[in-house]
Amino acid sequence: MSKVLIIGAGGVGRVVTFKCAMNPDVFSEIMLASRTKSKCDVIAEDAKKATGHKHITTAAVDAENVPELVKLIRSFQPELVIHVALPYQDLTIMDACLEAGVHYLDTANYEPKDEAKFEYSWQWAYQDKFKEAGLTAVLGCGFDPGVTSIFTAYAAKHHFDEIHYLDIVDANAGDHGKAFATNFNPEINIREITQKGRYYENGKWVETEPHEIWKDLNYPNIGPKRSYLIYHEELESLVKNFPTIKRARFWMTFSEEYLTHLRVIQNIGMAGIEPVKFKGVDIVPLEFLKAVLPDPGELGENYTGQTSIGCRIRGIKDGKERTYYIWNNCSHAEAYKETGAQGVSYTTGVPAMLGAKMVLTGKWGGAGVFNVEQFDPDPFLAELGPQGLPWHEQFDVDLEVD
């Protein structure tokens, strides 16, 4: 029986709220707080109706304001804060958790607003503070990062003596019927995928032009999809925590249509994050673009198709080479039917709830800042399927990523 505070009332916040409400034995009291309280109220009412949970309250909070956050945390007294607002707020929420003495969990690493750059250094720097406070900070507990990192930890624990090659493959074979939309916060999403590509090989990071390297990969129940090498944040912690890895890459599918829109957006300067003066007002082009693009939280209704995300791994077991593929497929329509959100929000929100459950039931813990692959993967993966994201594995198959 624990109280949890969820911050961020977007698509992911909706799923986390529903999923916490579906586990009332652990999450006996839930508060959802965001910048706009009315959005929290809608989600809370929907979740109460769908699950029968009686103790879901809401609040307005500016997650960039530490004193405001501390005041809210002190008044509600949760044991843990699940942060599913934006990566810009990671550090202020971590500061508030330290001050108020509660555990912390997020799904995306810190990113400064004025620089399109994300890395763990800022949050890893909180290690001593969380250690001294005797609190747990769980970083990156969505699907990727999150489940992909836990899949890797599970492979290392049970199926390999040494992992040598890791390829994380992420396909969204869904169709939302819009000409162009992003599946999670457009500003964060466009910042992420317009960056240069980067992968790890033999102890070094190799940089590529954006979308320069691609392969046609086959995804279970989906078929072949063009997949592009991009940089993704879990690569940074995985190569540190599994030092036998010789090469680690991340592949994501994009349609030609999507990439064409993205190229136009970039070429006309709409992906810019430097403010421009417009009629005497400072406007950040990417923030303006976000305002005119479809809200990812509202893509769900007619979304068809599936996501398929997993890890393709090659390494050594008992002196012999072995290949291994572990993945989950998630249907957008089923996610929507259960929570009112599409599959990308669902695959992020379920692991965030489950990570929180692991901490609150004592299966994960310790004082300090942790990436999820540092915890025992077994209790998490034992529950992932029953909580809505069943996973599958195959041994000694063609991984298609040589």
Footprint on this chain of ligand NDP (rule: CB under 6 A): 8-13, 34-36, 39, 61-64, 84-87, 89, 107-108, 142-146, 184-185, 188, 296-297, 344-345, 348
CA distance 283 to 269: 12
Is there a contact between 129 and 101 (Cβ–Cβ < 8 Å)? no
The single residue listed with the structure tokens 């954006």 is: 210
Judged by CB, which is closer to ligand NDP: 141, or 163? Answer: 141
Q: Are 359 and 80 in contact (CB under 8 A)?
A: yes
Instruction: Please tell me what DSSP assigns to residue 156.
Output: H
Closest distance to ligand NDP from the beta carbon of 84 (Å): 5
Report d(CA 21, CA 53) in Å as an integer. 6
Closest CB to ligand NDP among residues 197, 297:
297
Nearest distance from residue 293's CB to ligand NDP, in Å?
A: 11
CA distance 393 to 327: 7
Q: Give 72 or 133: the residue with its C-beta nearer to ligand NDP.
A: 72
Which residues, in sequence order, are CB contacts of 310 under 8 Å at separation 6+?
A: 148, 151, 168, 169, 325, 326, 327, 328, 391
Question: Whose Cβ is closer to ligand NDP: residue 13's or residue 272's?
Answer: 13
Tokens 């994201």, residue located = 389
Least distance from ligand NDP to the Cβ atom of residue 30, Å = 16
**Cβ atoms within 10 Å, residue 396:** 11
Q: By C-beta, is 29 or 111 nearer to ligand NDP?
A: 111
Cβ 183 to ligand NDP, closest distance in Å? 7
Question: In the bound complex, what is the minimum distance in angstroms from residue 351's beta carbon to ligand NDP?
Answer: 8
Give the count of alpha carbons within 13 A of 52, CB side only: 3
CB of 40 to ligand NDP, least distance (A): 7
Nearer to ligand NDP, 11 or 388 (CB): 11
Residue placing its CB nearer to ligand NDP in the complex, 89 or 227: 89
* DSSP secondary structure code for residue 114 in this structure: T
Which residue, 46 or 201, has its beta carbon nearer to ligand NDP?
A: 46
CB of 296 to ligand NDP, least distance (A): 5
Residue 175, φ and ψ in degrees, nearest 5: -135, 115
DSSP secondary structure letters along 312-341? EEEEEETTEEEEEEEEEEEEHHHHHHHHSS
Cβ closer to ligand NDP: 144 or 236? 144
Neighbours of 221 (CB within 10 A): 10
Distance CA 137, CA 53 (A): 27
Using an 8 Å Cβ cutoff, are 364 and 375 in contact? yes
- Smallest separation (angstroms) from ligand NDP to the CB of 402: 27
User: 141 vs 245, which CB is nearer to ligand NDP?
Assistant: 141
Residue closest to ligand NDP, measured at CB? 10
> b/e per residue, 79-112, with b = 16+ CB within 10 A?
bbbbbbbbbbbbbbbbbbbbebebbbbbbbbbbe
Least distance to ligand NDP, CB of residue 313, Å: 19
Smallest gap, in angstroms, from Cβ of residue 148 to ligand NDP?
A: 8
